[in-house]
Amino acid sequence: MSETPALPDLVDSHCHLDFPDFEGQQAELIARANALGVRRMVTICTRLRNEPAVRAIAEAHEGVFYAAGTHPMYAAEEPLLAVEELVVLARHPKFVGIGETGLDYHYTADSAIVQAESLRIHIEAARRTGLPLIIHSRDADEDMARILTEEHRVGAFGCVMHCYTSGPELARTAIDLGFYLSMSGIAAFPRSTEIREIFAAAPRDRILVETDAPYLAPPPYRGKRNEPAHVVHTARLGAEALGMTEAEFRAQTTANFDRLFTKAAA
């Protein structure tokens, strides 16, 4: 009796292993993910003051890489970054991306001006380092499309629209600029038909997959703490939505990740 072929490895392109939800549990979380073929993950620092702790997690675990920046919801609370700060951090061998940064008008529209200023600083750091920009966008589609388009005219940079839940117009703008869309557990929710349609319309070579752990757990864990191992459930749904086999989806999204996150490439 022949054995079932092993599925290709999978990458969790965006998680937050430093968050309190995971305190003291990183080793077991990573082991659970590895056992399911999730061999690599990028843990994201959302406030630069936490960068040393995030870096330490990446240094302690093979297959864990990290990125750092100021999340847009914290842009008004944190000191405005200098481009050079990010450029210096990017010299670390496991530092693979700039952000997350972006615009969030859902809860923090009152800080829109400083969010945009912070975003442009991160974009310049992405240009200078050659590392991909990691974008968070919520209820800010028009401004996000405008800023990304303006900045791309100034000089090209790589970018992923993390946890993509915005509209089809911003998705088209991102794709036209050469950017990537990342699928989170939200895409696996029963009512997320429009999001699945956006991903189905996107080029297959521009799609990543992520957890955003500890948030946004896909079914059957919806409403519970998310973790990198759960990216396999989003990948199964993603494969179905895109008319691919699970093996094809895993292989494609991993190849896409390697193309964008070159420092973390297998």
Residues contributing to the annotated binding site: 14, 16, 100, 136, 162, 212
- Taking alpha carbons only, the member of 9, 14, 63, 6 closest to residue 37 is 9
Which residues are part of a known binding site for a divalent metal cation? 14, 16, 100, 136, 162, 212
**What is the pairing mode between strands 38-45 and 95-104?**
unpaired
Query: In angstroms, what CA-CA distances link 260 with 73, 95, 143?
Result: 25, 13, 24
The separation between CA 18 and the C-alpha centre of its own chain, rounded to angstroms, equals 15
Are 177 and 154 spatial neighbours (Cβ–Cβ below 8 Å)?
no
Instruction: Transcribe 98-167 into DSSP letters.
Output: EEEEEEETTT-GGGHHHHHHHHHHHHHHHHHH-PPEEEEEES-HHHHHHHHHHHHHHS---EEETT--S-
Phi, psi of 72 (to 5 degrees): -60, -30
Q: Is 66 helix (H, G, I), strand (E, B) or coil?
A: strand
Q: Which two tokens stand for residue 220?
A: 């059957």
What gap in Å lies between CA 229 and CA 70, rounded to an integer? 26
Could you tell me where the beta strands, DSSP code E, fall in the chain? 10-15, 38-45, 64-68, 95-104, 133-138, 159-161, 180-183, 207-209
Comparing C-alpha atoms, which of 23, 8, 30 is closest to residue 211? 30
Helix axes 141-154, 112-129, angle to 10 degrees: 30
